[in-house]
Amino acid sequence: MVAEQQITPEYAVYNSDCMEVLSNLKPNSIHFSVYSPPFPELYQYSNDPRDMSNCVSYEEGMRQFEFVINEIHRITMPGRATAVHCMDLKKSGDYQRDFPGDIIRLHEKAGFNFFSRVTIWKDPWLIARRTRMRSLMHKMIVNDSTMCRMAGPDYVLIFKKSGKNECPVTHPNGLKEYAGETQIPEWLAQEYRNYKGDQRKNLLSHWIWRRYASPVWMDIRSGNLLPFKEARENEEEKHVCPLQLDVIERLLTLYSNPGEIVLSPFGGVGSEPFTALKMGRRAIAAELKPSYYRQLLKNLEMTNHPEQMSIFADEIAALTIEDEVMEGDGETVEEME
């Protein structure tokens, strides 16, 4: 049952279980989808039994996720892509579960082809400060380094549906805008921003593409997120942060054209539809939790008010490492070491 919905010429968003939305979409109708799935066994988003994270076991959660993947395959256009943000999950005690590997296997079972993987670098020092993971603390090197582990990165897994893509994603003027912390060299921007010649010689586009084509995205701004704290229903609720806008912008640049339809089956607070609208795409999103859905609507409203978008962009640009540390758990450097 769809509890609420808002439909405009630019987007359609639903407060609903995503399966109820996906099953009503036409076959071969979605150009691109990008999302973070709920992680099984978390029990941290809601107490709704339809919530995919509220499963008795990891295996049950993956069986539920398989239904979603099958629907996404059905509605994706031939030759087009879907991108899934994920990470390794805790299994038990000190061990890890290969969540990305299981996602790959389910997509291949549904008929998708595994196309590419991106690793998103994360600062182990900041992770240790925020999570208090003993295995990332320097003092463990002194005590017993066999207990130390590497910081877990994020991944983006990209899959393509078989068949010919009838709508190539083209960049006739190359790449001009860069989503990331690294600043484009001033001379490149000045000389090649409006380059009209042979795009094979467009050094600005080469500079951007070299970073987008890297298997590790090193400069994703961890604080470049949509407002989400207001969506919490209480202070104890643990919310997995929304997908960084830099990641979404890069993926939309590479795998969708302006005017195309972008799907987010787990809409959260609206990071994917927000970025899609900002970049001239159309969006469909479903979000089960009412408080997240309300925040999603508020965030999408910013796309109708350029002055709010400008203020939001300025706030993101002002983020520093010190700002991020202040959001951590409050431990001192001495305690960390």
CATH number at residue 242: 3.40.50.150
Pick the most confident of 125-129, 163-167, 288-292: 163-167
In the predicted structure, residue 26 carries a pLDDT above the cut 90: yes
Can you list the positions of beta strands (E) in the chain?
4-7, 11-15, 30-35, 76-86, 89-92, 95-97, 112-120, 154-161, 216-217, 261-264, 282-287
DSSP, res 47 = S
pTM (2 decimals)? 0.86
Q: Is the pLDDT of residue 149 over 80?
A: yes
pLDDT range class, residue 322, cuts 50, 70, 90:
very low
How many domains would you assign to the chain?
A: 1
pLDDT at 1: 84
- Better-scored residue on pLDDT, 158 or 307: 158
331 pLDDT above the threshold of 60: no
What pLDDT band is residue 50 in, cutting at 50, 70 and 90?
confident
Whether 247 maps to a domain, the answer reads yes
Which among 211, 217, 116, 156 is positioned nearest to 34, based on CA atoms?
156
Positive or negative CA dihedral for 288, 274, 264, 154?
negative
User: At CA 30, angle to CA 28 and CA 33, rounded to 5?
Assistant: 130
Round the CA-based radius of gyration of the chain to a whole number and report it.
Answer: 20
Asked whether residue 159 carries a pLDDT value surpassing 80, the answer given is yes
Q: Can you tell me the distance from the alpha carbon of 65 to that of 44, in angstroms, rounded to the nearest whole number?
A: 17
- According to DSSP, the residues that pair with 261 across neighbouring strands are 282
| pLDDT given at position 308 | 52
Give the span between the Cα atoms of 248 and 224, in whole angstroms.
Answer: 11
Residue 323 pLDDT > 80: no
Looking at per-residue confidence, does 10 or 48 come out higher? 10
**Beta carbons within 10 angstroms of residue 71's beta carbon:** 18
Q: How far apart are the first and last CA of the chain?
A: 51
Rounded to the nearest integer, the mean pLDDT of the chain is 86
What are the pLDDT digits (tens) for 228-259? 665 555 544 454 567 999 999 999 999 999 99
The answer to whether residues 144 and 174 touch, using CB atoms and an 8 Å cutoff, is no
Query: Is 205 among the domain residues?
Result: no
Q: In whole angstroms, what is the distance from residue 259 CA to residue 10 CA? A: 9
pLDDT of residue 238: 52
Q: Is residue 292 part of a domain?
A: yes
pLDDT at 312 over 60: no
Q: What is the pLDDT of residues 256-275, one digit of tens each?
A: 999 999 999 999 999 999 99
Predicted local distance difference test score (pLDDT) of residue 321 = 35
Which residue, among 293, 294, 242, has the nearest Cα to 272 in the 3D structure?
Answer: 242
Any domain includes 187: no
How wide is the angle at C-alpha 162 spanned by C-alphas 158 and 164, nearest 5°? Answer: 110
Asked if residue 236 belongs to a domain, the reply is: yes
Asked if the model's pLDDT at residue 47 lies above 90, the reply is no
Least confident piece of the model among 6-15, 17-26, 233-242: 233-242
Mean pLDDT of the 295-313 span: 72
CB 140 within 8 A of CB 147: yes
Give the model's pLDDT for residue 315: 44
Whether 140 is covered by a domain: the verdict is yes
The owner of tokens 């010429």 is 9
CB 163 within 8 A of CB 79: yes
Of all residues in the chain, the percent with pLDDT exceeding 90 is 64
Each residue's pLDDT tens digit, 51-77: 777 778 899 999 999 999 999 999 999
Q: Whole domain around residue 95: which residue ranges?
A: 4-181+215-326
From 217, 182, 189, 183, select the one nearest 203 (Cα to Cα): 189
**Mean pLDDT throughout 312-328?**
39
Q: What pLDDT does 203 receive?
A: 97
Interval 220-230: pLDDT, tens? 998 899 876 65
Instruction: Note whether 271 and 246 are within 8 A (CB).
Output: no
Q: What is the pLDDT, as a whole number, of residue 332? A: 36
DSSP state string for 166-205: SS----TT------SSSPPPHHHHHHHTT--S-GGG-HHH
Instruction: Return the ∠ at Cα 222 (arms to 220 and 227), rounded to 5°.
Output: 125
Residue 272 in domain: yes
Q: Is residue 227 part of a domain?
A: yes
- What's the pLDDT at 258? 97
Question: Which pLDDT value is given to residue 327?
Answer: 32
**CA–CA distances in Å: residue 313 to residues 31, 134, 170, 223, 297:** 27, 35, 27, 12, 18
